[in-house]
Amino acid sequence: MNNATPGGGQSHPNQNAANSTNYAPHLPKTVTLANPKRRLGCVSLAFLAIMTFYSARLIDLQLIKGPSNALAAQNSRIETRNLPALRGSFTDINGVVLASSMKSRHITADQTKIKRPEVTANLLLRYLKIPKKQLVASLTGDRQYAYVAKRVPMATWRKISDLGIAGIFSDPATTRVYPSGSLAASILGYVGDEGRGLGGLEEYLDKRLTGIDGKSTVEQVKGREIPTSEKQTVASKDGLSVRLTIDADLQGMAERALAREAKKAGAKSGNVVVMDPATGNILAMATYPTFNPNKPFKSNDLAKQNRAVTETFEPGSTSKIMTMAAVIEEGALNPKSKMIIPSGIPRGGTTFHDHDPHGTLRLTLNGVLAKSSNIGSIMASEKIGQDKFLTYLQKFGVGEPTGLNFPGESSGSLPRPGDGTWSGTTFPTLAFGQGLSVTALQVASVYATIANNGVRLEPRLVAGYTDDQGNFIENERVPGVRVVSAKTAKTVRTMLESVVSANGTAPGAQIPGYRIAGKTGTANKYTSSGGYSGYTASFVGIAPADKPELVVSVIMQNPVNGHYGAIVSAPVFKQVTEYALAHFKIPPSASKRPTLPVTW
């Protein structure tokens, strides 16, 4: 019997045996399902943990750190820009601008954004006068803020800005400008790179001239202002402007005349001071050499000094009017007093002589001044004694501050008995203008005192100030001090007219139509090493002598082509005074010069 498989096929013998002995039907396995509530709980816990973390983070960012983060984000967009105040200007008495400030820009660079410094430099060189090597160096590196050029005019910056160069920016700044160049430079001084006054009135009045900077706060993104952002601005407040007492036209004329004659005389330096004796106002104050305050560092220190107030010297014979005023005020002598002048006079172990040798002369006190006799001056001063004499010198302002308070101003010097500088020859030398030291301004002030009928006024260079609202505040006037009587002052002025007469030492200082009073001076120049070398040549005059409106002082230091005041200084006096008389429309003298005797 055959074994057959279902379906009619035959099976393998071994397979059949196996199947017969091991066959058992396959039963399904039992699966136990997890509790769905437990699984849902785990998922919920995980979700809750995640949500708690993010919620805490959100609370931290939004509530706890939110305000500070928002402020930090805003601050990252905020830029505070300085708004520089303009420095106050200087004008002359008539409003002519001598110094002013204008808005400008500091050009800066973010070097990290400049990929081709050479190319950028070539673009900038169209508008900037800077050596290319220096320009490339300022554009090269990894600094995000580097100066390229300082105080560039606004018009120039606009042209550069229009180029749209990546990495080139600017900051607001101001530039000091002196439109007339060297005019009144020794008075004005100059301003340094940091915008501070470094000389003259720029230095002395720096706090008044300097304004208060403002600021502007804006939001920006990538260097561009957000149009809808809130802008906060604190306006700047400009500094006070200064109105000087000088007249720009007269100042310019005085500077030109001084420079021309100083060069002709080969003088090392010189100065001119013009004063209004009735007010103490300084109408002009010129120095030679001078400098251009627009380029102050291209001049030496001598050129930048206002030597009319800083340089001291022995005045020589221009000082003799103090001797004359003192003895006349004390009633010891008068212009017609007769004096016998020997060829020499021994005092303190030294014999004093006049500048020109002579025998015995018969001069009046007026003649002593007209002929500028040193011997006669010594004899006159001895009529009142050294103590009274010294008192008058001090009252005239010798050895005392003038009150101008100009930077570096000197008070001069006046020796006193017992101070270690006094000797047997001091008193006689003081009588004719040596042994003491003064400034050119002090000399002018002495003559202004005589011109102002014996009342000494403080010199004034600042008429007043104008604030940023246009209000003018006049500078305070200090009451004058009487030195001698009006009668004595008038007498001395008349005596000074003899100096410019045909019988005096400076007839060339006469001006047709005007009575001129003046005095020459030629003094040996004392050196810092001791002894004397060179000369100080001077001429100081009053015009008109009958109704004084001008005092003009001219000082020349170390002239080599002539050294007498009448030769090198009087010509400057005449040129400046003639111009000033016409400029201020001062009428000619209505009377002739009185005649005082010179000899007897």
pLDDT per position as a tens digit, 301-352 = 889 999 999 999 999 999 999 999 999 999 999 999 999 999 999 999 999 9
pTM, two decimals, is: 0.83
Q: Give, rounded to a whole angstrom, the gap between the first and last alpha carbons of the chain.
A: 196
Distance from C-alpha of 542 to C-alpha of 457, rounded to nearest angstrom: 16
Beta bridge pairs of residue 197: 191
Element containing residue 390 per DSSP (H, E)? helix 385-395
User: Sign of the C-alpha dihedral, residues 434, 352, 368, 326?
Assistant: positive
Query: Could you state, in order of their start, the residue ranges of all structural domains in the chain?
Result: 103-111+120-127+143-175, 248-583
Helix, strand, coil fractions of the chain, as percent rounded to 5: 35, 25, 40
Distance from C-alpha of 41 to C-alpha of 263, rounded to nearest angstrom: 110
User: Please, which residues have CB within 8 angstroms of residue 203's CB and are 6 or more apart in sequence?
Assistant: 189, 197, 407
What residues act catalytically? Answer: 317
Distance from C-alpha of 407 to C-alpha of 204, rounded to nearest angstrom: 6
Output the CATH code of domain 248-583: 3.40.710.10
User: Please, which residues have CB within 8 angstroms of residue 93's CB and are 6 or more apart in sequence?
Assistant: 243, 244, 245, 246, 247, 281, 463
Kindly give the confidence (pLDDT) of every residue in the chain, 600 residues in length, as a single tens digit, with 9 standing for 90 and above. Answer: 444 444 444 444 444 444 444 444 555 555 555 567 777 777 778 878 888 877 777 777 677 766 666 556 555 566 677 788 899 999 999 999 999 999 999 999 999 999 999 999 999 999 999 999 999 999 999 999 999 999 999 999 999 999 999 999 998 889 999 999 999 999 999 999 888 999 999 999 999 999 888 887 776 655 555 666 666 788 889 999 999 999 999 999 999 999 999 999 999 999 999 999 999 999 999 999 999 999 999 999 889 999 999 999 999 999 999 999 999 999 999 999 999 999 999 999 999 999 899 999 999 999 999 999 999 999 999 999 999 999 999 999 999 999 999 999 999 999 999 888 899 999 999 999 999 999 999 999 999 999 999 999 999 999 999 998 899 999 989 999 999 999 999 999 999 999 999 989 999 999 999 999 999 999 988 776 667 789 999 999 999 999 999 999 999 999 999 999 999 999 999 999 999 999 999 999 999 988 899 999
Dihedral through CA 384, CA 389, CA 392, CA 393, nearest 10? 160
Element containing residue 148 per DSSP (H, E)? strand 146-153
Dihedral through CA 363, CA 516, CA 255, CA 449, nearest 10? 80
Contact (Cβ atoms closer than 8 angstroms) between residue 302 and residue 199: no
User: Please, which residues have CB within 8 angstroms of residue 176's CB and are 6 or more apart in sequence?
Assistant: 87, 99, 100, 101, 190, 191, 195, 293
Distance from C-alpha of 352 to C-alpha of 448, rounded to nearest angstrom: 30
